[in-house]
Amino acid sequence: MSLISRINGSLLSTLSGGSRNTSSENKSEISGTSTSSSASFQAAVVDIRPGLSKAANAFVSSLDSLNPAYVRLSDSKDLLSEIKDSVTRLKDIAEEATDTTISQEERDSLSLGFQAEILRLRALVEDPDDGSASLLSMDDLEDVLDSANIDRDGSSTLAQTFKKLGGRDGELGSENIILDNETSINPLSTRVRSLEEATIALEAFTALEKQVDRDLEGIDIVASELQGAALFARAGAVAFDNAVGYAQNNKDPEKVAQLIVQSIRSQTSDSALGEHSSLDQALAAALLVDNV
């Protein structure tokens, strides 16, 4: 069950130190359904404002941990876009070099351009001096999500995407390619000094371009999932904080909970809010006391 669907009067009362009513009457999700008057009265004797403040702080903490992870994903996406441009240029040069009608002078010129672009691509995928290498490591990416308390299995979209990222070597943007003759080759080692070399380079960079496209698409999906979780966290922080003032005059936890959920939904307009609301494990642990 998603976290957004568990925001109810019983949760607000428990967060404020009240006892939890576990009857079927008081366990309704926030979908416009009211609990019985007796259950509401039992919850109303608890001042829920401390629990609202506690929840608002939990949402702020969630946002604070999600934002750096989202920035990290954005940096990886930007670097992958640069790699994709370089790979495409190399593929295009290799394709030109497969033309059997070009002169040796033209081939030499293409070879020089190819080698210069190889050096640029190598700097993008291998140079650790500016920290770029870590932006392409699947292990590091997993660590970033773990530090943000993201449950990679909490979203089917996230789980499926992670399985496809990084190819066989666990690195984004690079991959040893299996050629049609079943030979494994590192595209960065290819040349275009001859028609034979150019043919191999074209095959290698065509395959690498497809892998980089898959990585880019996957990173974009992961970033979108994090963005959804961050939007939920931001909306939750605002909704719970605003509810503190509302609860001063309205003592019914169920009505306050309905207001909170309506506020979150109106702020996010997220069709996948259910999944996104459950990605941050620390947020769920802070709110779902006693396993609501």
Domain holding 103, by residue range, is: 78-139+154-215
Pair 187, 170: CB distance under 8 Å: no
CA dist 189 and 114 (Å) reads 11
What does the radius of gyration of the chain's CA atoms come to, in whole angstroms? Answer: 27
| Inside any domain, residue 119 | yes
CATH number, domain at 87?
1.20.1330.10
Q: Answer yes or no: is 39 within a domain.
A: no
Tokens read off for 63: 């946002």
In whole angstroms, give the CA distance from residue 141 to residue 164: 14
Reported as type and span, the H/E element at residue 62 is helix 49-97
Please state the pTM of the whole predicted model: 0.80
- The answer to whether residue 26 is domain-embedded is no
Whether 109 maps to a domain, the answer reads: yes
The answer to whether residue 236 sits within a structural domain is: no
DSSP 8-state assignment for residue 135:
G
55 lies in a domain? no
Q: Please count the structural domains in the chain.
A: 1
Of 155, 283, 163, 252, the C-alpha closest to 260 is 252
What is the three-class DSSP state of 167? coil
Amino acid at 202: L
Tell whether 185 is covered by a domain: yes
The one-digit pLDDT tens for each residue of the chain (292 residues) are: 688 888 999 999 888 886 544 443 343 333 334 444 434 444 445 789 999 999 999 999 999 999 999 999 999 999 999 999 999 999 999 999 999 999 999 999 999 999 999 999 999 987 555 555 478 888 888 888 888 888 877 667 888 888 788 777 778 888 888 888 778 899 999 999 999 999 999 999 999 999 999 999 999 988 988 898 999 999 999 999 999 998 888 889 999 999 999 999 999 877 778 878 888 888 888 888 644 4
Instruction: Compute CA distances 287 → 167, 206, 256, 265, 271, whole Å.
Output: 37, 49, 16, 18, 22
What is the structure's pLDDT at 167? 77
Does residue 47 sit within a domain?
no
- The confidence score (pLDDT) of residue 40 equals 45
- Would you state the pLDDT for residue 291? 41
Residue 208: what pLDDT?
94
pLDDT the model gives residue 19: 52
